[in-house]
Structure 1
Amino acid sequence: MITYPFEYKRASSVAEAVSMLAEGGKALSGGHSLIPSMKLRLNMPDALVDVGRIPELKGISMDGDELVIGAGSTHADIADSQLVKEKLSLFAEGAAHIGDPAVRSRGTIGGSLAHADPSADWPALVLAANATIVVTGPNGERSIPSTDFFTGLFSTALNDDELITKIRVPVSAGSKSTYQKFAQPASRYALVGCAIVKQADGQVSVAFSGVSDAPFRDTDVEKNLNSGQEAGPVGKGQSIMSDNFASEKYRVHLASVYLQRALEAVA
């Protein structure tokens, strides 16, 4: 399908990108989320602002007890990073689940989070890890807790003139984590994706992708598990998705199955 006419701009710095976004552009990095949605007319920006070559958006490092990942880091960068494997294996494991080698080599963590597809993998991963999304706009930098970032179907707390610059993730000694995913065979998106982080004191955080119209932390399940009870029903109070791939009932069943697999993996 051929997309509609639009203007293409390339930014060489975060400041330049923010200026271009303020003029009505839409940030483009790897393009694996944005371009398909443009072809389907789900996204129709007047201009694309290419941020894929901005050095400030690259790199993975430690800052104290936080792992800092540049928003322009590709899925492959994260999956292959020895630092990520040592400090937060959940992210390396999750990144390796995404798409295929071609997608992983071009798609970026920042692009995925900004697009906020309810069946994407990164939203569940950053929620379970209690990550912070750092964004820059005309008024400077601000930090958004991942639990406040996803606001609905393909919707986030990111303003139109803001750019995700980095993701900061706390790293705790002795914690265990896993990402368990039931993938749609063709797209590799999650029909259900369950991410769990278990701290050294036994407290767990549980997040899901692919289950509802937005990724979510399952606070009811967390409360039950952290008080020594059974997990209980998954997705209580959530609007469960139903489509030609999985009914609402089947999705809830899958979510329960993959929650148990994730719990066994961190036991």
Structure 2
Amino acid sequence: MYDFDVATPSTVADAAAALGQEDAQALGGGQTLIPTLKQRLASPSVLVSLTGIDEMKGIRTDADGKLCIGGATPHVDVAREGFAGLAGLAAHIGDPAVRNRGTIGGSLANNDPSACYPAAFLGCGGTAVTNTREIDADDFFDGMFTTALDEGEILTEVRFAVPQASNYQKFVQPASRFALVGVFVAQFADGVRVAVTGASEEGVFRWAEAEAALSADFSASALDGLTLPGDGMISDLHGTGAYRAHLVGVMAKRAVTAAA
């Protein structure tokens, strides 16, 4: 490690001011950032901890029936209080230590291509609330480790429309506990959304053909014959692009069966 300062603001306004310093970086649960610092892959001069901001914690339901989760809320709380598909997803992130420290806002802002939350957020058509604006899920992700968040912008709350039925299935990469492939399926009155993580070189994405098929018939058999190309999928020592493309279909069918 190296020398750096740590700011511990108690309000979002104070955190935004602290992030205005040169080379400042936000710190959520630290499950990604701290290992990155240890490997000297990042070298901020100031870490701005968001874990002491009470207004960024907790889970509530708003007047429109949406589930609103503070950006600094840990995974373990989402596993206890989220709707079925989201709670199940959160309950299987990492291990108990990760679930007690990692936060939903930190995961979404980091946008790891194999993280689980991006699939739920995109699959539910959620809304990211920041200290300056609101961003729809379809406009939030912008490729691996990149989002629409501006420098110094803080993800304060995540809002989910609660689906009629939902489920998340992931094929676990044993060493990291991240998703080799993960699929989130959400059924709403006006149709079905399907979001895939872990597979594409471009990060999380929606599978439009599966959405159309499942909107007409919400059953695993509706996905028979649907395939994704291996081109553009991640190919590494854990699996080829073609293998990941095949797993997307397998995980999607499992998610629909579990949700239904």
Give TM-score scaled by structure 2 length. Answer: 0.91
Equivalent residue, structure 2, for 1:104: 99
Equivalent residue, structure 1, for 2:257: 264
Shift of 1:235: 4.5
Equivalent residue, structure 1, for 2:185: 196
Equivalent residue, structure 2, for 1:47: 46
Equivalent residue, structure 2, for 1:8: 6
Secondary structure of residue in 2 paired with 1:196: strand
Q: CA RMSD in A?
A: 1.8
Q: Counterparts of 2:98 and 2:87 in 1: how far apart (Å)?
A: 15
Equivalent residue, structure 1, for 2:239: 246
Secondary structure of residue in 2 paired with 1:152: coil
Q: Which structure 1 segments of 5+ residues have no match?
A: none
Which stretch has the larger CA shift, 209-218 or 102-111?
A: 209-218
Aligned-pair identity in percent equals 45
Shift of 1:263: 1.7
In structure 2, which of residues 245, 248, 256 is the aligned counterpart of residue 255 of structure 1?
A: 248
Secondary structure of residue in 1 paired with 2:108: helix
CA offsets 1:197-218 (integer angstroms, 9 cap, x no match): 01246x2110011011311111
Change (3 A) 1:16 1:195: same
Q: What amino acid does structure 1 have at the position aligned with 2:149? A: L
Count of matched residue pairs: 253
Q: Counterparts of 2:178 and 2:253 in 1: how far apart (Å)?
A: 20
- The answer (yes or no) to whether the contact 2:118–2:204 under 8 Å persists in 1 is yes
Secondary structure of residue in 1 paired with 2:142: strand
Q: What amino acid does structure 1 have at the position aligned with 2:48? A: V
| Residue 103 (structure 2) pairs with residue 113 (structure 1) | no
Q: Counterparts of 2:156 and 2:231 in 1: how far apart (Å)?
A: 30
Q: Counterparts of 2:147 and 2:135 in 1: how far apart (Å)?
A: 10
CA offsets 1:180-208 (integer angstroms, 9 cap, x no match): 0111112110001110001246x211001
Change (3 A) 1:107 1:93: same
Change (3 A) 1:210 1:143: same
- The answer (yes or no) to whether the contact 2:125–2:160 under 8 Å persists in 1 is yes
Q: What amino acid does structure 1 have at the position aligned with 2:54? A: P
Q: Counterparts of 2:231 and 2:40 in 1: how far apart (Å)?
A: 28
Q: What amino acid does structure 2 have at the position aligned with 1:80? A: R
- The answer (yes or no) to whether the contact 1:222–1:231 under 8 Å persists in 2 is no
Shift of 1:169: 1.1
Q: Counterparts of 1:237 and 1:142 in 2: how far apart (Å)?
A: 37
Q: Which structure 2 segments of 5+ residues have no match?
A: none
Equivalent residue, structure 1, for 2:78: 78
